[in-house]
Structure 1
Amino acid sequence: MENHTRCSDTNDPIDSFKLPKGKAGVSILWPNAWTNSIKKLKDGNERVIAILITASQELCIINAYMPTCNTDSQFEYTECLDIIYDIIQKYQETHKVILCGDLNGTLLSTRSNKHDKMLKNFVAEMGLSTGQDICEKHTFFHHAWSSSSQIDYILVQDKKLVLNYTIDEKSSINLSAHTSVRVITTIDIPAKVKSANKNRKAKYKLQWDQMDTNQYNRLIQLGI
């Protein structure tokens, strides 16, 4: 895979001797065979990145990790929305726009904090949607199971781009607080697969001490 990645200290690197607990970044990954069709954009910040894809239809994909909801976070949240707005305005005339990521705000009507309100207003203003009616299944689960919500989205301006929208069940071996959200689109990205990569397989190591062993055992018993 190739990637376009920014981390929390990309623009202001932290000395390795003063590094605090690891902080998140944001990344877009794609198969090596697509690389000639990808252009990394300088637009954005350490929370918002974007790429252009030359395909059957020109695409602009924006990936965002929005600020969490805490004291005065609405100012940083608004700044990120402004950056996303500028990217959409810049490319929407020539490209189909897809916005995705952990938006730390929900489009569900069951919650309405300051981030939720700003996100809902922004989505309405920019004509964004999931492209299909989706269930109210949650995508985020607090590690202590004290709360959950739907805050991870893939949003489009053109609903015709979306063939299928899926929110996956939370896997017992998924150590993230989030589950995955997937979309199948109508876009065809031509790519030549190198023969040397055909037999490559990723290797995974299960972290048994951190996984949900009760759920894992239940699935084994059910034969799933």
Structure 2
Amino acid sequence: MYRTSPKKSDFISLRECIDQLFEIIQKYELTHNLVIGGDFNEDISKINNSRRALKLKKLIDECNMKVDFKGPTFINVKGEEISEIYYFIYKTKVIHKTSRLTDVASNVSDHHPIKITLPCKFLKKKDILESNVQSRIRWDKVDINKYINIITQETPMLKRKLQNQQNSVTTTIEQTMEMLSNTAKKCSAQKTYGKNKLKLKLWNPEIKHTLHQNKIAYKNWKNADRPNDPEHPLVIDKKETRKLFRTELRKEENKRKHIERDRIITANTQNKRLWHNHFKTLAEPIQNSTYDSKHQKLCDVDYQAIKYLCNQASPRIVTKSELLEAIKSINTGKSEDIFGLSIEHILNAGDDFTDFLLYLVNIIIHDKLIPEIIKLGLLSPIFKNKGSKNDSKNYRGIVVLPILCKIIEYIARIDFRPI
């Protein structure tokens, strides 16, 4: 807080300080509970018409703030409490408790300190090392019966909302995929922490040596019936070896931070952009002057003819046996899709969910429109084992499509086979 002597020449400094406080209050009063405290070197607890006091009172009045006066805080050379120059200024809505500390044995100054108590709520800091990568579901650890029961209970509501047109097909797909993913996580065995011995993430010969010395010192201290005397040689040895061990850990951690920082600074920042442009080019059609335009026109004619015939034909009805054949045709143990699902989520969902899935697939085929949400995929770049690994053109993209898309694709191929 601002602190200055009550000289006339310092009024300009006080005015500038109060103007800065006014700007801070105006900026943050709607989002924060403000408290200003310190040595104001001006007593406003009694009638005081000095320029300094009037300027300070004006700030308090304009900002709708309040002051609690707890008594004199300054003691003169005669030992007399003569003025109150320490106080807190705060918004009236703040729940507070202020007090003047007159019995602090360690206080040797000519001022009484003041204290304010405020209610605070601290949120647990999120672990910055937390990974966004979700672990795969281990189906040998999942309670299948519980999984089937939960899916069976929630499926009728999804079907009812789809039948009553309360939800669109896209919304129903989103809710279905989310239900399968969350239920599998809920029914899988939770990984236990704390039972296994934690492993050090940092390691080098120096850390190994200091840790060994610390264990020896701890063992000696333990064998000596754990003495508590701070001057005992074993206690001192245990503390010193522990201190050296932690010092080596911090050294190695700082060393790795510097290496990582240098790597980031010296890295080619264009690589990510080249990578993005490469796969964007593969996904978008481009005009090629060397392409056979006659052949392209014939392809367009065939496309329009096939599209016309499909629009004229009545939608086919997928049978349950065809759906089960499509589900069983997809290999198990594969990577999960963008919804966090694998074919195991559907294989283990039970007969009631299979009936609901059959109804959903027939709705999609009847509408003759594949929802965009099941066309989304996870792109994984795979190196072609030739050329430089730093060149994005030497990678090919492998896309993991949603499970529902794979099922519909297999059903569509059933009609393609006789052609």
TM-score with structure 2 setting the length:
0.27
Bigger relative CO (Cα 8 Å, ≥ 6 apart): 1
Q: Which has the larger radius of gyration?
A: 2
Pick the structure with more strand per residue.
Answer: 1
Pick the structure with more helix per residue.
Answer: 2
TM-score with structure 1 setting the length:
0.49
